[in-house]
């Protein structure tokens, strides 16, 4: 019997961790590639992504209330559908979010360090935040509160400064929102879904939340609502000031926002804000992936070495250290835009399992109508199909490798 994790997180802590996971990824990484495929239609894509995310969030909330333990949809899939669907959910979450971790580390380094030191600074950021997580989940929540507060303040300043110098060039013709076609809009929704996936971190922390059957559903929906409001305001401002073409080619949209509006003095503030946002997302990613890896190891879907929980700090420290080492390797290989597409592929599969699992829940555990799970499941499939071909291809290969690994472990168990 492995040692359980301690319940130390309240509603506010859980909401902050969810917001911190989403805002860092979305504002500073997703809008440029989304604009490249959809132009001003990315606003429609944002609405589509938010709709699918809301359906998925209600499924996750409903499931987390019934199964308040670490692992998120990995556990839900096992309990509702069987071992293989659970494994698919856990595997796609771990690989997708590991790629996201590398991307966030690179975003942080790209904003705060000279180009020749990008990889070194990314590795140092991973090491620092893994250390913070090592010393307990309450320290993770405490640091995330600071980061989220700082990031939201910087975004508010950036939006105000951007609008004061805006000519509205990007939104002069709203009819142009469909110029890239609906395929481009749906593809942008798939890429932007990457930005909404942070609420999964709340469910994966289910074993550490106080009164999880009440806290988790409220925290998931609240965090998603806050993030959507932030995204809508920032996306509209970026399009109004930069226009879709400049936004699509930008590697630092918030910096370009203040430069284009004549407030160059604020660019260092935007860089610091972007760095803090990436740190907040990376901090929550490490915590969430560590807990899912712990749950998978407990059920022998990953090596049992990862099941150990620190006797003093009550964290899955071996899982988090192993994750950190893998992410450090990935920062040498990953491209940010490809990582976003690959992460979306994995996370959308993860939520497909969540929606199907929630659909099977009995009446006494239902909080939301089954129609939401149907819309969420169909939405996941559609967005997966419209992702870049390279993201689908790489994601499929990695999923097949994971399935092969589990088949080998299963066969060894049968032979024994």
pLDDT tens, residue by residue, 165-220: 766 555 554 557 777 888 999 999 998 988 887 766 676 666 677 777 778 778 88
What is the rounded CA–CA span in Å between residue 257 and residue 260?
5
Q: What is the pLDDT of residue 369?
A: 93
More confident: 190 or 412: 190
Q: Which residue has the tokens 């990031």?
A: 151
pLDDT at 157: 92
Q: For the segment 33-56, what is each residue's pLDDT rounded down to a tens digit?
A: 899 999 889 999 999 999 999 899
In whole angstroms, give the CA distance from residue 386 to residue 139: 39
**For residue 1, pLDDT beyond 50:** no
Helix 73-80 to helix 336-359 angle, to the nearest 10 degrees?
A: 40
The pLDDT score that the predictor gives to residue 117 is 86
Alpha-carbon distance 21 to 281, whole Å? 4
Candidates 274, 269, 229; CA nearest to 250 is 274
What pTM was computed for the model? Answer: 0.80
Domains of the chain from N-terminus onward: 11-406 (1.20.1740.10)
Whole-number pLDDT of residue 399? 93
Percent of the chain surpassing pLDDT 70: 88
Residue 67, pLDDT score: 84
pLDDT greater than 90 at residue 79: yes
d(CA 18, CA 281): 9
Task: Give the pLDDT mean for 108-129.
Answer: 85
CB atoms within 10 A of CB 264: 11
Task: Give me the DSSP letters along 253-291.
Answer: HHHHHHHHTT-GGGHHHHHHHHHHHHHHHHHHHHHHHHH
Nearest to 125 by CA among 275, 330, 306: 275
């Amino acid at each position: 019997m492995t040692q359980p994790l301690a319940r130390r997180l309240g509603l506010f802590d859980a909401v902050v961790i969810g917001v911190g996971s989403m805002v860092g990824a979305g504002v500073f990484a997703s809008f440029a590639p989304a604009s490249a495929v959809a132009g001003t239609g990315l606003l429609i894509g944002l609405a589509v992504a938010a709709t699918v995310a809301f359906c998925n969030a209600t499924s996750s909330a409903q499931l987390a209330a019934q199964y308040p333990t670490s692992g998120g949809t990995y556990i839900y899939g096992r309990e509702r559908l069987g071992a293989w669907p659970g494994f698919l959910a856990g595997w796609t979450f771990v690989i997708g979010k590991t790629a996201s971790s590398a991307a966030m580390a690179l975003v942080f380094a790209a904003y705060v360090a000279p180009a020749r030191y990008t990889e070194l600074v990314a590795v140092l950021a991973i090491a620092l935040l893994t250390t913070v997580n090592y010393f307990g989940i309450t320290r993770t929540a405490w640091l995330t509160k600071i980061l989220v507060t700082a990031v939201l303040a910087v975004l508010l300043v950036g939006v105000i400064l951007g609008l004061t110098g805006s000519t509205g060039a990007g939104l002069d013709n709203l009819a142009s929102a469909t110029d890239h076609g609906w395929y481009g809009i749906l593809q942008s929704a798939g890429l932007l879904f990457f930005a909404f996936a942070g609420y999964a971190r709340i469910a994966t922390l289910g074993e550490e939340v106080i009164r999880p059957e009440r806290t988790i559903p409220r925290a998931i929906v609240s965090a998603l609502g806050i993030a959507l409001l932030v995204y809508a305001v920032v996306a509209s401002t970026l399009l109004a000031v930069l226009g879709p073409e400049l936004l699509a080619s930008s590697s630092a949209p918030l910096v370009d926002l203040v430069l284009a509006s004549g407030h160059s003095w604020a660019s260092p503030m935007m860089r610091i804000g972007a760095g803090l946002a990436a740190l907040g997302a990376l901090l929550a990613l490490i915590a969430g992936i560590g807990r899912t890896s712990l749950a998978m190891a407990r059920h022998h879907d990953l090596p049992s070495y990862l099941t150990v929980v620190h006797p003093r700090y009550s964290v899955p420290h071996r899982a988090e250290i192993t994750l950190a080492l893998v992410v450090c390797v990935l920062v040498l290989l990953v491209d940010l835009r490809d990582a976003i597409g690959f992460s979306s592929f994995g996370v959308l599969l993860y939520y497909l399992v969540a929606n199907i699992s929630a659909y099977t829940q009995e009446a006494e555990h239902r909080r939301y109508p089954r129609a939401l799970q149907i819309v969420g499941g169909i939405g996941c499939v559609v967005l997966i199909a419209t992702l870049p071909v390279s993201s689908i291809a790489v994601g499929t290969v990695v999923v097949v490798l994971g399935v092969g690994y589990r088949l080998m472990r299963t066969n060894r168990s049968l032979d024994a």
